[in-house]
A and B are shown apart, each in its own frame.
Chain A
Amino acid sequence: GAGVSQSPSNKVTEKGKDVELRCDPISGHTALYWYRQSLGQGLEFLIYFQGNSAPDKSGLPSDRFSAERTGGSVSTLTIQRTQQEDSAVYLCASSYRLAGEETQYFGPGTRLLVL
């Protein structure tokens, strides 16, 4: 079956512009995560959606970042007034839980470059 997909795969934007990144999780996965990974760094948690519950936004670095998940499926991460330090790979992952164990699948990521 199809895995997690993300679009666009690459995005180059100018400082101050807004960008939208999209994530299509695996069908049936109730949990969805957004992370970002800067060059040579580990993954930084941004936001978590679980079913219809209120999202955990504790990882969003500033109020320029927001995300939504419509209908419990597709998610959009929006960065307003982009800054050069926002340049990173933005990764989405969806997961399911079976017999108490969670399995998380990552999408290919969106490489964002802010000039």
Chain B
Amino acid sequence: QKEVEQNSGPLSVPEGAIASLNCTYSDRGSQSFFWYRQYSGKSPELIMSIYSNGDKEDGRFTAQLNKASQYVSLLIRDSQPSDSATYLCAVKTGANNLFFGTGTRLTVIP
């Protein structure tokens, strides 16, 4: 079983809709959770981090964490074509090791 699992997609949503990206992880002791956005041919950029159960909102982005279910999600409201990218979920286990999922490719259709 992989440490971090994501649906590879592609996920297509119309412009203005809510995009929902999901991630599960295997290490119940994980404490830190991150969402990165990676445009094709570019490096990942951090868009959200979350450390405690519940929701964390930043602009159009909301991260949701449920440690009991070992589940973390990212909601993108009012999706824009510029949001089209691969979204990587990352989970920090132990002190140092950051495990990444393989990413979900999102396409926002104008």
Q: Which of B9-17, B69-77, B96-104 contacts A (4 or more CB under 8 A)?
A: B96-104
Whether the pair A56, B96 counts as a contact (CB closer than 8 A) is: yes
Q: Is B57 an interface residue (CB 8 A)?
A: no
Which of the residues B34, B51, B92, B102 comes within 8 Å of A42, measured between beta carbons? B102
Partner of B43, one of A58, A100, A106: A106
Query: Interface range on chain A: under 10, 10 to 19, 20 to 34, or 35 or more?
Result: 20 to 34
**Chain B residue at smallest Cβ distance from A108:** B43
Tally of contact residues, B, Cβ under 8 A: 22
Interface residue from A41, A48, A56, A104 paired with B102 (Cβ < 8 Å): A41
Q: How far is the CB of A31 from chain B (nearest CB, A)?
A: 8
Q: Is A72 an interface residue (CB 8 A)?
A: no
Q: Return the CB mask of A37-70 against B: 1 if under 8 Å, else 0.
A: 0001111110010100000101100000000000
- The digit string for A73-113, where 1 denotes a CB below 8 A from any CB of B, is 00000000000000000010000000011111111110000
Closest chain B residue, CB of each to CB of A47: B96
Bound together, the chains give a CA A58 to CA B94 distance in angstroms of 12
Contacts of B98 in A (CB 8 A): 33, 45, 48, 104
Contact of B97 among A59, A100, A106 (CB under 8 A): A59
* Most chain A Cβ neighbours within 10 Å, of B32, B42, B96, B101: B96
A107-B43 in contact given A58-B97, A59-B97 (Cβ < 8 Å): yes
Q: Inside 8 A of B62's CB, which chain A residues have their CB?
A: none
B88 touches A101 (CB 8 A): no
Whether B49 and A101, one on each chain, are in contact in the complex, defined by CB atoms closer than 8 angstroms, is yes
Give B74-110 as 1s and 0s: 1 = Cβ < 8 Å from A's Cβ atoms: 0000000000000010101001111111110000000
Assess the B49–A50 pair: CB atoms within 8 A: no
Going nearest first, the 8 A-B pairs with the smallest beta carbon separation are: A42-B102, A106-B43, A43-B100, A56-B96, A48-B96, A42-B100, A106-B44, A42-B101
